[in-house]
Structure 1
Amino acid sequence: MEQVVEETPFFTNDAVVLGILFIILALVFRTSASRNPFWQKFYTYVPSVLLCYFIPAILNSLNIISGEDSSLYFVSSRYLLPASLILFTLGIDLKAISRLGFKAVIMFFAGTLGIIIGGPLAMIIVSTFSPETLGGAGPDAVWRGLATIAGSWIGGGANQTAMLEVFGASTDLFSAVLAVDIIVANLWLAVLLYGSGRADKIDNYFKADASAIHYVKKQIEEYAASIAKIPTTADTMTILAIAFGITGFSHFASDLIAPFLEANYPALNKFSLTSGFFWIVVIATTAGLILSFTKARKLEGAGSSRFATIFLYVLIASIGMQMDITTVVSNPGLFMVGGIWILVHISFLLIVAKLIKAPFFFVAVGSQANVGGAASAPVVASAFSPSLAPVGVLLAVLGYFVGTYGAWLCGILMQLVAGS
C-alpha cells in the first residue's frame, strides 16, 4: 500500500499563524467599516463574519497554514471561548432573554429530529445509485462511522466519542467520516453566517415574527449606552481579570469534577457529564449569569462585550482554518451522504420555522446548537448581535444532554437500513 506523504504547511509557527489571523480580522473589520462605495456595496452582499471564517479556510486548503497542525483552535475554544461567554453573559438581561419564548427550544428539537431522520434517509437515497459507498463489514461497516457523525451533530465531540465507543467503528473509517463531519458542518456554518446578514429578508419571506429578538437587542443596547464610559486601565484589567480568572477557575473545577464523575458515576457519560469541556462551558456561563446580578454588569459600559467579541472572532478564524475544502474529492460518496443528511436537517428546520413563524435567528442558532455545539452556536448567535451570544450557548448545553440518546437512536436506524 502506497504511503501518502503529507506536505508541510508554509507557516508552521503558531505565533506566525496567529499574526496572520489577526491581520485578516483587522482587514475585514477595517474594510467593512469603510465608507468607500466599493466596500459598502461588497459588504451588502458578503457578511464580514463570513470572510473572517472563510479566508482562513482558503489558506488552510492551500496548505499555507494548517488547522490540523496548529493548537490555536484548542487554545481559542478552551480559553477564549469561556472568557467570551463570561463577558457576554455578565451584561445579560435575563428578563429580556426570557421574552424570546419557546420558539428557540422548538427549533432546536426540530434540528435534532432532522439529524436523527436525516442519517438513515441519506443512506437509503445514496444506496439506490452508489451501494458500494455504504458497504463494509464489522468495524469497517460504514454505518458505524456515520453514527459518530450523529454524535457530533447532536451535541459535540464528547457525544461523538461516546458513539465511537458504542458502535465500534475502525480507526480508518473514523478518520474518513471525520472529514465529512468537519467539512459538511463547516460549509453549513458558512451558509448560516452568510444568512445572518440577510435575516430581515428571510424573516419577511417566511412571514416570521422577529419582534422579540429586536426587543432584546434594543434593551441590551440601550442599557450599554446608558452606562458607557471611557475605560481606564483599571477597568480593562478588571474585565480581563474576571474573564480569565473565572476561565481559570472553570478549568480547575472541571479537572476535579469530570474525572470524579467518570470514576464514580460512569453512567453519567451518556449525558456528557464526564466531559471536561462541558463543565468548562457550564461553569463559565453560570458564573457570567451570576455576575449579571451584581455591579460587575456595569463593566459592559467599559467595553466588556467588545473584548468578548474579539475573543469570539479569533475563535471564528480558528474554526475556519480547520476546514480543507479539497478533501471533498477524496471520498465523494461519503460526502454525498453528509450533504443529503444536512439537507434533511435544514428541511426540518425550515418546515417547522414556517409552521410556527420562527425567525431565522432561531433557525440558525437551533441548528448550530446541534451541529456545532458550544464552540459555534454562540458564534452564529453573535453574528446576529453580540448581545444574543448567550442564547446560543444555553441551547448548546441542552444539546450535550440529548446528544447521546439522539445519536444512539440515529445509529440504530442506520444499522437497520444497512441490514446489519
Structure 2
Amino acid sequence: MITTAFGYIAALFAIAAILHLLETRSKMAMFKYLPAIVLLYFVVMVCATLNLWQQGPTIDATYKALRNNLLPAMIFLMLLDADLRQIKKLGMKMIVTFLLAAISIGLAFIVTFALFHQGLADDAWKTFAALCGSWMGGTGNMAAVQLALNVPDASMGYTLLIDSIDYALWVMLLLALVPYARRFNQWTGADDSLLADIGNRLDQQSEQASAVSAGNLMVLLAAAFVVSAASQSLATMLPTTAYFTHTAWTVAIVTLAGIVAAMTPMRHIGGGQILSTVLLNLVIALIASRANFGELLQAPIYILAGLVILVIHGTFMVLLAKCFKLDLFTCGLASLANIGGVASAPILAASYSRALIPIGVLMAMLGYIVGTAGGLIVGKVLALIAGV
C-alpha cells in the first residue's frame, strides 16, 4: 500500500502514461471506442477500491492542494486553443446547432433529475450538475463544477461511472451511424455538399504554433500557474453567496483570462495542448482516486438516469435535424463535441473525412467556454427541484 504523497502521485502518473502508450502504440480495437482518458476513470477507481494507496491526512492534503491549484491552470491552458475568432469560422449553422445541443442536454438533465431524484442520494443534484458540466464541455468542466459546488469526493464515483459507461455507449452509437449518413440526410432533406468546403477552409486558415521547446513549456507553465494563483487570490476579494463561492469566482476569472489570452500571440506558443493534456490526465486520475466501487450501491439507477438523459437529448437532435434540414455530421458532431469534448469529437469528424477534423476540434473548444457555466446553471435548477 502506498502511504507517501509522492508515491501516490507517481502511481497516478504511471497509470495515465501506460494507458496513453497502449492507445498510441498498440493496435487494440477498444481504443477506437474508449479513449485512454475514459479508461483512466475505471483503472484508477479499481486501484482505489483495492486500496493501492492509503486514504490518510498526507494523501488527502496532497489531493486537495493539487486539484485546487492545477485545475485553474489546466483550464487556462485548454482555453488557449479556443480563439473565438477562429470558432466564428465554423459558420452560424454549426455554432447554433452546438448551442441547441447543449441546451437540450441541460433540459434532459433537468427532466431526468425530476423523474429520478427521489431515488438518488441527497446531494445527487451536485453530482448531476458536475456531469452536466462534463457533457456540455469536457472533463475539465466537470472538475470545475465539482470544485465550484464542493461536490463530495465520494459522490463523484457515481458521476464517473455514468460518464464512463453511458458516454462510451453514446460514442459507439454515433460512430456506428456514420455509414447511414447519406440516408439520414436524404430523410432530413439536408444539403451536405458544403461540408468538405468548410473543412478545407478551416484547415487552410488554421495557424501553426511555434515549435515545442523547453523555453516555451516553461513560459506556458509559468503563465498558467500565475493565472491560477492570481485568480484564486482575486476570488477571495469578491462577494460570495451560498451558491456562488470563491471557487466559482476562481473558475470564472480563469475562464475569462483564457479566452482573452487565446486572442493574443500567446496562443501561438507551442506546447499548450501537451501541457493541458498532462494536467487533464492528472486531474482525472485525482478525482477517480477518491471514488470506490464499493460505494456505488446505487449505481444501476444512476446509469439508467444517464441513459435517459441521452435518449432525451438524441430525440431532440433528431427532431431538430428534421425541422431545420440538418445533416447527420452536424448533429452528431454537435452532440459529441458537448458530451465527449476534444477526446472524441475529432474522432467522429475524421470518420466522415480527415478534412473535417478541424471542425471537430474547434466545436469541442466551444464546450470549454460554455460547459462550466452551463453546469452551474443546471445545478441551480436541480437544487430547486431537490428542495435545497
State the TM-score, normalized to the length of structure 1: 0.65
Cα contact 2:71–2:283 (8 A) shared by 1: yes
Superposition deviation, residue 185 in structure 1: 1.6
Instruction: Decide whether aligned partners of structure 1 residues 113 and 388 sit closer, same or farther in structure 2, where only a CA change above 3 A counts.
Output: closer
Superposed, which structure 2 residues align to 1:110-149 within 5 Å?
Answer: 110-123=104-117, 145-149=123-127
Superposition deviation, residue 345 in structure 1: 1.8
Superposition deviation, residue 342 in structure 1: 2.6
For 1:157, the aligned partner's letter is: Q
Cα contact 1:83–1:244 (8 A) shared by 2: no
- In the alignment, which of 244, 264, 268 is matched to residue 298 of structure 1? 268
Counterpart in 2 of 1:410? 385
Counterpart in 2 of 1:248? 226
Runs of at least 5 residues in structure 1 that lack an aligned partner in the other structure: 1-9, 127-133, 135-141, 162-173, 369-376, 416-420
- Return 99-108 or 317-326, whichever deviates more: 317-326
Superposition deviation, residue 344 in structure 1: 2.7
Superposition deviation, residue 253 in structure 1: 3.7
Superposition deviation, residue 78 in structure 1: 3.4
Instruction: Decide whether aligned partners of structure 1 residues 288 and 239 sit closer, same or farther in structure 2, where only a CA change above 3 A counts.
Output: farther
Cα contact 1:246–1:287 (8 A) shared by 2: no
Identity of aligned residues (%): 14
Cα separation, 1, equivalents of 2:191 and 2:14? 35
Superposition deviation, residue 123 in structure 1: 4.8
Counterpart in 2 of 1:278? 251
- In the alignment, which of 298, 305, 310 is matched to residue 341 of structure 1? 305
- In the alignment, which of 259, 264, 273 is matched to residue 237 of structure 2? 259
Superposed, which structure 2 residues align to 1:203-218 within 5 Å?
Answer: 203-204=178-179, 207=184
Q: How many residues align?
A: 343
- Return 113-122 or 272-281, whichever deviates more: 272-281
Instruction: Decide whether aligned partners of structure 1 residues 202 and 248 sit closer, same or farther in structure 2, where only a CA change above 3 A counts.
Output: farther
Counterpart in 1 of 2:43? 55
Superposition deviation, residue 216 in structure 1: 7.3
Cα separation, 1, equivalents of 2:38 and 2:372? 24
Cα contact 2:80–2:267 (8 A) shared by 1: no
Cα contact 2:87–2:362 (8 A) shared by 1: no
What secondary structure sits across from 2:95 in the alignment?
coil
State the TM-score, normalized to the length of structure 2: 0.70
What secondary structure sits across from 2:291 in the alignment?
coil
- In the alignment, which of 319, 322, 346 is matched to residue 355 of structure 1? 319
What secondary structure sits across from 1:64 in the alignment?
coil
Cα contact 2:46–2:292 (8 A) shared by 1: yes
Structure (1 or 2) with the larger CA radius of gyration: 1
Superposition deviation, residue 56 in structure 1: 1.7
Instruction: Decide whether aligned partners of structure 1 residues 28 and 240 sit closer, same or farther in structure 2, where only a CA change above 3 A counts.
Output: same
Deviations 1:51-91 (A, max 9, x none): 33322222122111368835144444233x22432443369
For 2:15, the aligned partner's letter is: I
Counterpart in 1 of 2:71? 77
- In the alignment, which of 13, 37, 52 is matched to residue 22 of structure 1? 13
Cα contact 2:87–2:363 (8 A) shared by 1: no
Superposition deviation, residue 190 in structure 1: 1.3
Counterpart in 2 of 1:170? none
Cα contact 1:57–1:324 (8 A) shared by 2: yes
Counterpart in 2 of 1:227? 208
Counterpart in 2 of 1:6? none
Cα contact 1:115–1:150 (8 A) shared by 2: yes
Cα contact 1:52–1:316 (8 A) shared by 2: yes
